[in-house]
Amino acid sequence: MSSLDDTPQHWARIQEYGSVSTMRIMVWIRRHLGRLPFRVMLSLVVLYYYICHAPPRRESRRYLERVWPLHSNRPLRWRTWVGLRHFLAFGQSLMDKIDAWSGIPIELKMSNEDRQCLDQAISSGRGGLMLVSHIGNLEICSAMSDKRDDFHVTQLMHTHNALKFNQLLDRSTLRRGPEIIEVSEITPATAMRLAERINAGGFVVIAADRVPLNDDGRTRSLEFLGAPAEFPEGPFWLATLLRCPIYTLSCLRDGEAHRVEFSPFDDTTRLKRVDRDAWRESAMQRYVDWLTDQCRRQPLQWFNFFPFWQTHDRTHS
Amino acid sequence: MANALELELKHLIIDTLELEDVTPDDIDPDEPLFVEGLGLDSIDALELGLALQKTYGIKLEADSEESRRHFANLKSLAALVEARRVD
């Protein structure tokens, strides 16, 4: 085992920025003083982080240089300004999370097609697996699941990051939100629990864009925004084992509203064992294509501030 | 009968994991199922867990150490099924 300090590049080893006490103050300002003072405060905090935290700033720039030509057909210009906007978008997403969980109404947009797809997915009673990524703001979707009694969501989360933020939410809000299963590895017990949820018509949310620490080296290198990046095979293994409908889900900020996108991805119910490897390969490529399209449309809402394109530094046993 | 259950589990393992060149006699109840012995991997463990759940309605605690113990060999697996089956 390597110590936590000597390989700071892996996302799971990077502390999420902002201490809980700073965040508490922010929540207080948002609640008691309203939107404008909060925005001013948030901008200052974000500016501070942008200036004082070089590694995420560097990673943000690397990402922006890759995605910008795809987004605007031009190379990245005004790099500092766009980088700052990238950080501000992240700060904004934190505010949106707080709003969502504080019960402040949020405007959700959804195309008719996607809405029908979601309604059908729920009413079919077959449940499913929803592939997501760290783009946009999924907590908003979870807030949506709060409003529907027939929409049961279980979110699979890696234990390391995001703990702080969830602590904060738990203490300062009354909402319960989706069931969260925190795991550092998928055990038979986890798989059984997930299968149980899906058999009961529920939906399991899993992010497929970050490689966990204990992944047994099950990753695949795929071309993403012009260079190879490592993606975890785990979610796609799960998809074949759980034998259920698979969907993609995202929630991107669109002006003052949020656009929820929910689309069918595949169905592994009848997938044969011999076809699994081929399926995984094609499914992972299709996931990366989907992710590329999301980034192209909303480049500033990509919230992976760690070296995404570097071969992840992991210890193999 | 423990032996009948062991045989049943051998068939379950072979069928679930489609181990075409393995017969029930090849599986020694005391030998490790994973890595050594039968040479199954962590994905096989997940699949086996799901099959046990489907067939016997078994639930497991999330503790991975405990799972590892239950899945150590056929004997421990049979003991798990004996203790937790709900049919």
Domains of chain B by start residue, with CATH: 2-84 (1.10.1200.10)
- CB–CB contact B53 A196 (8 Å): yes
Q: Kindly report which listed range (A19-23, A56-60, A229-233, B42-46) carries the lowest average pLDDT score.
A: A19-23
Nearest chain B Cα to A214, which residue?
B42
**Residue of A128 and A309 predicted with greater confidence:** A128
Q: Tens digit of pLDDT for each residue in A183-223?
A: 777 888 889 999 999 999 999 999 999 887 665 668 999 99
A102 assigned to some structural domain: yes
Say whether A189 and B45 touch across the interface (CB within 8 A): no
Mark yes or no for CB contact A185/B64 under 8 Å.
yes
Closest Cβ–Cβ partner in B42, B43, B62 for A189: B62
Most confident range, picked from A199-213, A270-284, A302-316: A270-284
Question: Using CA atoms, how far apart are residues B85 and A16, in angstroms rounded to an integer?
Answer: 43
Q: How many domains is chain A built from? A: 1
Contacts of B62 in chain A (CB under 8 A): 183, 187, 189-190, 193
Q: What sign for the dihedral angle of Cα A269, A235, B34, B60?
A: negative
B45 contacts in chain A (CB < 8 Å): 187-188
Residue to mutate among B15, B54, B64, B81, with most A CBs inside 10 A, is B64
Judged by average pLDDT, the poorest of A103-112, A224-233, B73-82 is: A103-112
**pLDDT at residue A19, as a whole number:** 61
Is residue A311 in some structural domain? no
Mean pLDDT value across chain A: 83
Q: What digits encode the pLDDT tens for the residues B15-65?
A: 999 998 899 999 999 999 988 878 888 889 999 999 999 999 998 877 767
Distance from CA of A19 to the nearest CA of B (A): 30
Query: A173: which strand partners?
Result: none
Q: Which residue of A has its CA nearest to B45?
A: A188
Answer yes or no: pTM beyond 0.80.
Answer: yes
* The pairing of beta strand A179-183 with beta strand A245-254: unpaired
In a domain, A306, yes or no: no
To the nearest whole Å, the CA of B85 is away from the closest chain A CA by 14
Provide the edge-to-edge strand list for the sheet that holds A257-267. Answer: A108-109, A257-267, A245-254, A128-132, A203-207, A153-158, A179-183
Whether A86 is covered by a domain: the verdict is yes
Q: Which residues span the domain enclosing A292?
A: 11-301
Chain B residues touching A189 at Cβ < 8 A: 49, 59-64, 66-67
Q: Give A139: exposed, middle or buried? Use CB within 10 Å, 0-12, 13-18, 19+.
A: buried
Contact residues on chain A for B49, CB-CB shorter than 8 A = 187-189, 191-192
pLDDT in tens, A52-102: 889 889 999 999 999 999 999 989 889 999 999 999 998 888 888 777 766
* CB within 8 Å: B62 and A195: no
Q: For B46, which of A188, A196, A273 is closest by C-beta distance? A: A188
Is A188 within 8 Å of B49 when comparing Cβ atoms?
A: yes
For residue A308, tell me if it sits in a domain.
no
Least confident of A214-228, A287-301, B7-21: A214-228
Question: Does some domain include residue A21?
Answer: yes
Contact A187 B67 (CB under 8 A): yes
Residue A91 in tokens: 């700060």
Query: How large is the ipTM?
Result: 0.87
**Does residue A135 belong to any structural domain of this protein?**
yes
A188·B48 Cβ contact <8 A: yes
Q: What is the mean pLDDT of residues A258-270?
A: 95
Tokens 């995001």 belong to A162
Closest residue in chain A to residue B70, using alpha carbons only: A188
pLDDT at A317: 33
Residue predicted with more confidence, A17 or A294: A294
A316 within some domain: no
